[in-house]
Chains A and B, each alone.
Chain A
Amino acid sequence: MTTLKTFKRGGVHPAENKISANQPIVVLDPPKQAFIPLNQNLGAPAIPLIKKGDEVKVGQLIAKGEAFISSNVHSSVSGKVLKIDAVIDTSGYKKMAVVINVEGDEWEPSIDRSETIKRDFSFTQKEIIDKIKEMGIVGLGGATFPSHVKLMIPDGKKPEVLLINGVECEPYLTSDHQLMMSNGEEALIGTSILMKGLGVKKAYIGIENNKPDAISYLKELAEGFKGIKVVPLKVKYPQGGEKQLIKAVTGREVPSGKLPIEVGAVVNNVGTAFAVYQAIQKNKPLVERVVTVTGKSVAKPSNFLARIGTPISILIDNAGGVPEDTGKIISGGPMMGKALLSLETPVVKGTSGILIMNKQETHRVEMLPCIRCGRCVSVCPMGLEPILLSQLSRLQMWEDVEKQKVMDCIECGSCQYTCPSGRPLLDYIRVGKNKVGQIIRNRGKK
């Protein structure tokens, strides 16, 4: 038996609860009204190109990402623009979104909607990057970093290897799993395209070992692709963290405060690879994505292919409705997801799942004094001291917070998950991280 690869230090193993693992993807109809936020990416919001009353088709560009780190937004439905208004998004804040009254389902004619898999491509590196930018592709793992920016390698750096993240280490979530099972080949073609876009010869697809079907399926498919290898990984959270994945697969450690390219690596989510395939081969912008709807009290845990802008209430209805004992609704997984304020929050490019927790699960454990057991330190995958960071943040000793490398924190939540005293470590650390981030930015301005 060979030992599975993984990252070296820290990590936890929360109950996996992948209850929707074997549910094939169900395609949802477009909603009656779509709410398409202008900022669905990390970075600057896109600038709207349409106005009230305009008729739009599916796939039509409705907002342009003008800033360097920004991304185009396309209409995911056809119909008439009702207004551009503030709606509550995943962050809990009101953000500008295009509200469209849906009429029919008319797509831009340039989009190839056939099921046939298109394998050959002959684009240049620049064409690939431009197309990815045009089609509004962002990282679909949740961070939503604009994908074309990732492909633009800064001077002096040389990418050597592409890593495709099919780890899905968050408990409950199964959208990447099902995507790999149903669109594995397309994802591999997308991977090849990304390899060309980067100019690298090697790509590794990291998948946690709790998805043996996806591992064997992609392994089989990968034999037909040059330079792509599937790497089964140990089930350990946060295996899918960018730096942890790089460490696990290549053995390299991204230096503190640096990007993966520093060690010659670029990481993309497997969903992103599929979106890239669609963008390049099918001319299809990012207008829909796979979303897991799950939870212990959910009647029909499911994986849906939903249009961007669909209110999550519609997804939940399709999974059997909002359970009686609902306590918390989370966008994403239980470790890093965001608790939602409203059922009308729209699905965005970064929505990987909707997790419904019942009242009992929502209950936070009682907070006791720290007993200095050091478990938060031993599980921190970044080698930080969560207890120290949280104490320093509470005391507002920002200089020390910075010195103790708060900016390295990936907010994976392992510390808080493991704390026997039930202390809200990550809550405090986030405060410190925000504050130190501000201080660093202000320093840059001077």
Chain B
Amino acid sequence: MLTVSGSPHVHGDDSVKKIMYGVVYAMVPAILVSIYFFGLDALWVLLTASVSCIFFEWLVQKFIIKGPVTINDGSALVAGILLAFNVPANIPIWIIIVGSFVTIVVAKMSFGGLGKNPFNPALVGRIFLLISFPVQMTTWPLPKPLYGGTAVMDAVTGPTPLGILKEGVKMGKTVPELMPEMPGYVNELMGFQGGCIGEISAIALILGAFYMLVRRIITWHTPTAYLLTFFAFTGILHLIDPTQYADPFFHLVTGGLMLGVFFMATDMVSTPITYRGMLVFGVGAGLLTAIIRIWGAYPEGVAFAILIMNAFTPLINRAFKPKRFGEKVVQA
């Protein structure tokens, strides 16, 4: 018996699983940094979030949808790690379980599961927790100092650099006055700053992003548009009034920017499918992030910015088509 089917008869051998586990590998540097700075607390949160996300997905697929169980495709694991990346390391374990429930059951499975969710599930989980448990979500443990020293991890909490900035400016201080209170650019770049588990080290995140770019899991379009827009916007404001607006380099290495740019704004499911659309998405997210950080009620705007742009994704897909071959008539 011969098999008969339509062409093509060969496949490129890439798969959802390879992509998802590729993202997991890309998150390893940030995971290691978080464990280094926050110790076992970070590890517990990471494990709890991953296991409960996978568990909730299994639960829904097995008992509610009663369809095939696909928890080993890696997507629930990615969502779990990303959710853990978006909470402080000292968050009570039960809160992270609630967050996992929202991430998987509400933000992903209720829309139909893999590939169907309009919003990034981990970010929906994060925002849900931020609004429901504002105190626990904004009490950051201070990381262990970079060189030696023994900080008592559970006892000492402190604000993030962005928090210092927001509160300080609100109280009438100028940016140069506030800067000495910050850990400094090099520390911030390496990860020695207050913040959520996965967002503290820009360098670890960039390392992971580089891996994803090489493996073509992500393309340069969204991150570049996002970063350039954000840099330009904060830069212009800084040039206008350096006492009120922090410089763009500070903004680049603090908060959840790198995590958002490389791991959330590049989420395939909830962002545009065309290169043009990705550029538009990046520009929009960059603008919104800067606007929320500078004038919004929250010190950090990455999560809101990306979720808002997620909502625009279908419109962007509709408005920004790829350039069709032969679209522009070339005069012979």
Interface residues of A (CB under 8 A from B): 9, 12, 14-15, 92, 158, 160, 171, 243, 247, 252-258, 262-264, 326-330, 334-342, 355, 357, 361-362, 364-365, 368-375, 377-378, 380-385, 387, 405, 408, 411, 413-414, 416-422, 424, 426-427, 430
Q: Are B12 and A337 in contact (CB under 8 A)?
A: no
Interface of chain B residues 267 through 325 with chain A (CB within 8 A) = 268-275, 278, 321-325
Known: A253-B330, A416-B8. A383 touches B323 (CB 8 A): yes
Q: Please, could you name 23 A-B residue pairs with CB atoms under 8 Å apart, sorted by A? A: A9-B323, A243-B325, A255-B326, A256-B327, A326-B2, A328-B2, A328-B5, A330-B9, A335-B8, A337-B7, A339-B3, A339-B4, A340-B4, A357-B9, A372-B115, A372-B271, A372-B273, A377-B273, A382-B325, A405-B324, A408-B324, A416-B11, A417-B8
In the complex the two chains form, is A339's CB within 8 Å of B10's CB? no
Contacting pair B11 A422 (CB below 8 A): yes
- B residues near A361, Cβ cutoff 8 Å: 9-10
Q: Which residue on B lies nearest to A412, using beta carbons?
A: B8
Residues of A contacting B15 with CB < 8 Å? 365, 368, 420-422
Q: Which residue of A lies closest to B70 (CB)?
A: A368
Q: Which residues of A contact B112 (CB under 8 A)?
A: 369
For A417, list chain B residues within 8 Å (CB). Answer: 8, 10-12
Nearest residue (CB) in B for A337 is B7
Given A253-B326, A339-B2, A383-B324, is A413 in contact with B19 using a C-beta cutoff of 8 Å? no
Given contacts A326-B2, A372-B268, contact A380 B326 (CB under 8 A): no
Q: Is the CB of A369 within 8 A of B4?
A: no
Instruction: Establish whether residues B10 and A171, one from each chain, have CB atoms under 8 Å apart when the complex forms.
Output: yes
Q: Which residue of B lies closest to A92 (CB)?
A: B4
List the 8 closest pairs (A to B, CB-CB), nearest first: A413-B8, A374-B273, A369-B115, A373-B268, A383-B324, A339-B4, A334-B10, A256-B326
Partner of B329, one of A255, A327, A355, A372: A255
| Cβ–Cβ contact A371 & B268, under 8 A | yes
Which range contains the number of B residues in contact with the other chain? Answer: 35 or more
The dominant DSSP class at the A interface is: loop
Q: Whole-angstrom distance between the alpha carbons of A329 and B1 in the complex?
A: 10
Task: State whether A365 and B326 are in contact (beta carbons under 8 Å apart), knowing that A326-B2, A378-B275 are contacts in the complex.
Answer: no
Asked if B332 and A263 make an inter-chain contact with CB atoms under 8 angstroms apart, the answer reads yes
Interfacial chain A residues near B75, Cβ < 8 Å: 371
Chain A residue nearest to B73 (CB atoms) is A368
Q: Name B1-40 residues within 8 Å CB distance of A.
A: 2-16, 18-19
In angstroms, how far is the closest chain B Cβ from the Cβ of A414? 8
Q: Which of B3, B116, B275, B329 has the most CB of A within 10 A?
A: B3
Of B5, B19, B332, the residue contacting A364 (CB under 8 A) is B5
Partner of A369, one of B18, B19, B116, B332: B116
Return chain B residues, CB-CB under 8 Å to A378. Answer: 219, 275
- The CA-CA distance from A38 to B45 in the complex, in Å, is 72
Find out whether the CB atom of A411 lies under 8 angstroms from the CB atom of B11: no
Q: A253-B330, A254-B326, A377-B322 are in contact. Are A369 and B114 (CB under 8 A)?
A: yes
Q: Are B3 and A328 in contact (CB under 8 A)?
A: yes
**Across-interface contacts of B73 in A (CB, < 8 A):** 368
Q: Are B3 and A365 in contact (CB under 8 A)?
A: no
Query: Which residues on the A side are within 8 Å of B70 (C-beta)?
Result: 368
Tell me the bound Cα distance from A361 to B8 in angstroms: 12
Q: Is B113 interfacial (CB 8 A cutoff)? A: yes
Question: Which residues of the partner chain B approach A422 to less than 8 Å between Cβ atoms?
Answer: 11, 15
Query: In the bound complex, what is the Cα–Cα distance between A416 and B278 (angstroms)?
Result: 22
Neighbouring B residues of A421 by C-beta, 8 Å? 15-16, 115
Residue in chain B with minimal CB distance to A369: B115
Task: Give every chain B residue within 8 A of A355 (Cβ-Cβ).
Answer: 9
Residue from A253, A342, A369 within 8 A of B113 (CB atoms): A369
B328 sits at the interface (CB 8 A): yes
* Min C-beta distance of A204 to chain B, whole Å: 16
Q: CA–CA, A254 to B219, complex, Å?
A: 28
Nearest Cβ on chain B to A350's Cβ, whole angstroms: 14
A residues within 8 A CB of B324?
256, 382-384, 405, 408
Tell me how far the C-beta of B178 lies from the nearest C-beta in chain A, rounded to whole angstroms.
41
Closest approach, in angstroms, between the C-beta of B12 and any C-beta of chain A? 5
Q: Known pairs A371-B115, A384-B324. 5 more at Cβ < 8 A? A: A247-B325, A384-B322, A385-B322, A420-B18, A420-B19
Which of A92, A335, A371 has the largest number of chain B CB atoms within 10 A?
A: A371
Residue of A255, A328, A418 near B4 (CB, 8 A) is A328
B residues within 8 A CB of A427?
6
Would you call A424 and B10 a contact (CB within 8 A)?
no
Give the chain B neighbours of A328 by CB distance below 8 A.
Answer: 2-5, 9
In angstroms, Cα B219 to Cα A337, docked, is: 31
